[in-house]
Amino acid sequence: MSNISVPEPKSVGLILSYRCTAECTHCMFACGPEWEEDLISYERLEGTLAELSKYIVPGPNGPDSIGLNHGLHLTGGEPFLHYDKLLEATKLADDIGIPSIFVETNSFWCGDEETTVAKLQELRRAGLNGIMISVNPFYLEYVPFENTRRAVNAGREIFGQDAIVYQSEYLREFERMGVEGTLDLNDYIDRQGGDLERNVEFFLSGRAPYVVPEYDISGLTARSPEWWFDRPCRPPFLREWHNHVDNYGNYIPGYCGGLTFGRIENMDGMLSEGIDRDDFPILSLLVEDDFDGLYDLSREYGYREAVPGYYSKCHLCLDLRRHLYDRGNFAELKPDEFYRQLPDG
């Protein structure tokens, strides 16, 4: 059988560390304050950026401008927790000629206007082309809305149209609601009459499937494994845009926390020869979208169907993988800490 073809990393998020100030319900990488810092080293940063520079493509408006699924975004975890590393990464990426560099943030650090503006100006001088400010009810549990507003204002002043608010409907909604400080997710859901899913882009992967039962969200239904077998990954699992590389050197497909195609330093070989299916049996099944097969493999390792079922295909995928992680030695199930940080099933 042929090797697995690996997608080129045309747009990548570089995870400087998985540690975060927040512990958002929807976090696909299950980031939070309990993670080891394990900040990316200078050597790994240099090597990773050199590899990525061969493949990353600029945003639609050129290398000095950004697009969500173009260029390089510096992320985490929360990258501003390690401001000096963020600055170092920006300078290195710019020096090496990587186009369309932006940072993604939850705005926790924007406690006053002067600091917010000064840091963004410094980053801009270092070569940052833009910023993506995360806004939705999951962040609002942890980050005072005043900080978000400050980040948006400073971001727009310094980066103009390259300050992206994701998602801007929430910025407008929280303004309309007159939110001050933080807002408990349960309170927000109550105000929406339980209708969370309709409004939020919510993939129910990473931490989410294990914590959503704590909330009174209407429309969430747990299904049998078979119900999910033939449903496609959303967005597609194999794609060239918005993949990730982490601080441990893992090349991660899309938003699939806890999975890797292999080591970033082997990128050229991965792309030219593909990866051997025998070395990556789980990845091989996922590439084939053979969830039936993944389920059978997990059953061979003693897996029992979860009760009451699965809220999403990613939930099923993750539950099977975490079971296999605990019982086998699978090179594609990385980083180890991801599986340790998942909430109990």
Residue closer to ligand SF4, measured from CB, 58 or 202 = 202
Under the binding rule (CB under 6 A), the answer on residue 286 touching ligand SF4 is yes
Under the binding rule (CB under 6 A), the answer on residue 217 touching ligand SF4 is no
Under the binding rule (CB under 6 A), the answer on residue 237 touching ligand SF4 is yes
Under the binding rule (CB under 6 A), the answer on residue 77 touching ligand SF4 is yes
Question: Which residues make beta-bridge pairs with 15?
Answer: 75
Query: Which position among 23, 51, 246, 332 is part of the footprint of ligand SF4 (CB under 6 A)?
Result: 23
Under the binding rule (CB under 6 A), the answer on residue 256 touching ligand SF4 is yes
Contact set for ligand SF4, span 191-210 (CB under 6 A)? 205
Under the binding rule (CB under 6 A), the answer on residue 233 touching ligand SF4 is yes
* Least distance CB 195 / ligand SF4 (angstroms): 21
CB-CB contact of 287 with 4 (8 Å): yes
* Least distance CB 313 / ligand SF4 (angstroms): 4
Per-residue buried b or exposed e for 99-136, using 16+ beta carbons within 10 Å of the residue's own CB = bbbbbbbbbbbbeeeeebbebbeebbebbbbbbbbbbb
* Least distance CB 182 / ligand SF4 (angstroms): 13
For residue 314, give Cα distances in angstroms to 58, 75, 92, 237, 309: 30, 22, 35, 11, 12
Residue closer to ligand SF4, measured from CB, 98 or 135 = 135
Under the binding rule (CB under 6 A), the answer on residue 22 touching ligand SF4 is yes
Query: Strand, helix or coil at 84?
Result: helix
Alpha-helical regions (H) of the chain: 42-52, 83-95, 113-126, 137-140, 145-159, 168-177, 185-191, 196-199, 208-211, 225-229, 267-273, 281-287, 291-300, 313-327, 336-341
Residue numbers at the binding site for ligand SF4 (CB under 6 A): 20, 22-24, 27, 31-32, 76-78, 106, 139, 205, 233, 237, 256, 286, 313-314, 317
